[in-house]
Amino acid sequence: MPMNKTAYLLSTSLVFALSAGLSHAQITDDEVVTTGLRQAYQGDFDPLEVPQADLTIDSEALSIAGALNLNEALDLSSSVARQNNFGGLWNSFSIRGFSGDINLPSGFLVNGFNAGRGFGGPRDLVGIEAVEVLKGPRSALYGRGEPGGTINLVTKRPQFETGGYVRGTIGSWSRFRVEGDAQTGLGEDENIGVRLVGFHEDAESFRETVETKKLGFYPSAAVKFSQNTIATYELEYTGQDIPFDRGVAFSDGFGFTPRETFAGEPGDGPIETEVIGHQFEAQHDFNDNWSLLAGLGYRETSLEGNASETNFGSRQTYFIDGQTLSRFFRFRDFDSEYFVLRGEIAGEFNTGGLRHRVLVGADYDRFDNSLFILRYRPGGIPADTTDIGTLDPAAYLLLDVSNPVYGQYQIPTPGPNTNREEVLEGLGFYIQDQIDITDKLQIRIGGRFDDFEQDLTNLRATPATTITTSDTRFSPQVGAVYRVNDGVSVYVSYGEGFRQQTGSDFAGNPFDPNITDSAEIGFKTDLGEIYDRVDGFVSVTFFQVDQSNILVNDDRPEAVAAGFFSFPAGEARSRGIEFDAGVEFENALAVWFSYAYTDAEFTNSNPDMDFGATIEEGDRLINSPRHQLNIQVRKGFDLAGMPAQIGGGVLHVGERVGWTGFDFFLPDYTTVRAFGEIDPVENFSLRLDVDNVFDETFYTNSYADVWVEPGAPRRFRLTAAYDF
């Protein structure tokens, strides 16, 4: 991976700093033993001291919910809503109503590294210890990112102990899954930890002919060089074969197509995705107050395959007869490489009677992204057509949605569509200081300076053309926390964020970044500090997020004359209330509760970027429900001397706009799940999960009226697990 001079200087400085830290490592009776790395950019704060509404979904909550993938985990936070997932090929979500680029995966972090970039397929949770929902813009620390908040996945790392589990699952639609997690300590003093985590899954679907195959392997190693110095290495490998599935189509006259009908072609084959990633981190504690954390990451992803997809508008036959879908065809070959280097000093000191806890850091990253697409698309249907039988079925790739017959047509020969390469490069410096003004009052101030450059090369042009853009941004944050007592705090905060936008306007000028301003006020409780017989948390937050420079269609005369271009002129606002709680009682009853009211709407009028439809002031943001609720309950007990537990959950998602600029809405839905688990012998358990108990017909997200993802019917899972 080539690095410029700036990256080289930064890498040299980080290596020098790390080397200096290692050389000063000493072993004394007073030193703190390091058993794991802290999370980058977050510091070492009690949750009640953080002036933001963060939500940690730990392994216990994930287990109660039976979550196996990132989508199911994020359903536990009602602040997060599902967005268009590109035919099932990536994770896409909004936080507090706002998502990033709807045509790209949502950005999420893994141990602070940006791992949502690229095309590695949807994320499995087998190697994940916890999912952190960090609400509000985080550019003051992390740099450019998604406007509504940040998702950070905390991975399973060696704990210098021996143990693990193996688990096998069978379920509806011939689902078979096996996973394992094993770790041990090595060396005379067991100062080397090794952990091996992996899974394999093969499953059919309620969608006819759809079958997925997934394989993941995530080994890691950690070395304690001394009691206060530790380094870890993690490998990520995931390979997935996933048919490209745009879901169902809808028309006002005929409703939704059957949820079991696959609109693609099995003969197209699956889309093959692959990711290979490496993460290295080292932490050195100089003393009880100061530590250094340095790391680097490198990640390659790829996505390749064919897909037959449902047509839009005047090319769609389903709108005429309610029986026949017309489709078009695309071949995709996507590749990405991501490199990041970072270093951070955390510590505390006093000035007079004030205690300061500071984070000071720098990072460099480079993202190389290559997109190659070939496309075959039929022409528009003649306006006077009333009989679909008069059309050439091979030209329109027609499919009967009630009685689909696949493989009727040869794969068409596609023509050029997209061929571009993009390079994003950024260097950032940040500082944060949290000051104890009194025993109860703390204030937080901080900011980040980013210098970034973007090269976008159009390889379809003759000759190829490259647009180079650069910008600098300062992102501030301020906040205050008041500790009412040991178990309750109230806070207020303000932060700004930004996200780079790809491309240029009709005159070749780069787009200004998408800008976010966010303010919130709330309170948090640590129930264990208040009640002796209860453990858990409760938080309530009121928020407002304003966003500007949203890309819309450029309808200025000079732009229209040049073609179809975008323009950063859109504005939107989201405001609402969030209530999150996780409570565990002495009688083995555990409750998880998350509710959000989110009023997310456009605050000016513009034509939509993708289709040119008019967005009116007050129109709601796509796939953003006003009301969302998730409740999970578990109760443990003894059954004939055997440990057992039962539980379940309810997910409610309100009505959502399903197509920006159009009067197309996805109906609200409520699904119920239940599970029971028993340990018939020591270290062995059996668990039965039933999802969508009442067989609700529902739709989770959409891009437009012909690309709607249906939810799964009632399904069963039986899991056997052995712990060792």
Q: Which two tokens stand for residue 313?
A: 């508008």
Mean pLDDT of the 91-107 span = 88
The better pLDDT of the pair 22, 196 is held by: 196
Is cis: bond before 463, omega within 30 of 0? yes
User: For residue 139, what pLDDT is reported?
Assistant: 78
User: For residue 560, what pLDDT is reported?
Assistant: 86
Mean pLDDT of the 583-607 span = 96
pLDDT tens digits for range 370-400: 999 999 999 999 989 999 999 999 999 999 9
Residue 559 host element (H or E) = helix 557-562
User: For residue 104, what pLDDT is reported?
Assistant: 80
Q: What is the DSSP string of 419-479?
A: EEEEEEEEEEEEEEEEEESSSSEEEEEEEEEEEEEEEEEETTSSS-EEEEEEEEEEEEEEE
Please say whether the beta carbons of 429 and 362 come within 8 A: yes
Confidence of residue 322 (pLDDT cuts 50, 70, 90): very high
Please say whether the beta carbons of 664 and 658 come within 8 A: yes
Would you say residue 8 has pLDDT above 50?
Answer: no
User: For residue 141, what pLDDT is reported?
Assistant: 87
pLDDT tens digits for range 419-447: 999 999 999 999 999 999 999 999 999 99
The better pLDDT of the pair 130, 136 is held by: 130
Q: What are the two backbone dihedrals, phi and then psi, of residue 137, each rounded to the nearest 5 degrees?
A: -65, 140
Please say whether the beta carbons of 112 and 491 come within 8 A: no
Nearest alpha-carbon partner for 295 in 234, 228, 210: 234
3-state class (DSSP) for residue 710: strand
Nearest alpha-carbon partner for 7 in 341, 281, 367: 341
Confidence of residue 702 (pLDDT cuts 50, 70, 90): very high
317 Cβ neighbours under 8 A, 6+ residues apart: 311, 324, 325, 326, 381, 388, 391, 396, 398
Q: Which amino acid is at 572?
A: A
Q: What is the DSSP letter of 586?
A: T
Residue 357 host element (H or E) = strand 354-376
Mean pLDDT of the 82-100 span = 93
Please say whether the beta carbons of 37 and 281 come within 8 A: yes
The CA-atom distances, in angstroms, between 554 and each of 456, 479, 514 are 20, 38, 16
Would you say residue 402 has pLDDT above 80?
Answer: yes
Nearest alpha-carbon partner for 623 in 94, 146, 90, 77: 94
Confidence of residue 29 (pLDDT cuts 50, 70, 90): very low
Q: Which two tokens stand for residue 714?
A: 């009632």
How far apart CA 258 and CA 214 sit, in angstroms, is 27
Q: Which two tokens stand for residue 693?
A: 């108990």
Please say whether the beta carbons of 240 and 217 come within 8 A: no
Helix ranges restricted to H, 334-407? 393-396
How far apart CA 100 and CA 514 sit, in angstroms, is 9
Confidence of residue 36 (pLDDT cuts 50, 70, 90): low
pLDDT tens digits for range 213-260: 999 999 999 999 998 999 999 999 999 999 999 999 999 999 999 999
Comparing 18-32, 535-549, 638-652, which segment has the lowest mean pLDDT? 18-32
User: For residue 502, what pLDDT is reported?
Assistant: 73
pLDDT tens digits for range 64-80: 999 999 999 999 999 99
Confidence of residue 43 (pLDDT cuts 50, 70, 90): confident
Q: What is the DSSP letter of 7?
A: H
pLDDT tens digits for range 522-544: 999 999 999 988 999 999 999 99
User: For residue 25, what pLDDT is reported?
Assistant: 33
How far apart CA 59 and CA 428 sit, in angstroms, is 32
Would you say residue 1 has pLDDT above 70?
Answer: no
pLDDT tens digits for range 141-193: 888 777 889 999 999 999 999 999 999 999 999 999 999 999 999 988 889 99
Mean pLDDT of the 308-313 span = 96
How far apart CA 65 and CA 401 sit, in angstroms, is 34
Would you say residue 27 has pLDDT above 50?
Answer: no
How far apart CA 607 and CA 662 sit, in angstroms, is 11
User: For residue 180, what pLDDT is reported?
Assistant: 98
pLDDT tens digits for range 465-515: 888 888 899 999 999 999 999 999 999 999 998 888 877 788 877 788 889
Q: Which two tokens stand for residue 246?
A: 């745009």
Could you give the percent of the chain with pLDDT greater than 90? 81
Confidence of residue 32 (pLDDT cuts 50, 70, 90): very low
User: For residue 684, what pLDDT is reported?
Assistant: 97
Q: What is the DSSP string of 179-207?
A: EEEEEEEESTT--EEEEEEEEEEEEE-SS
Distance of CA 401 to the CA centre of its chain: 32
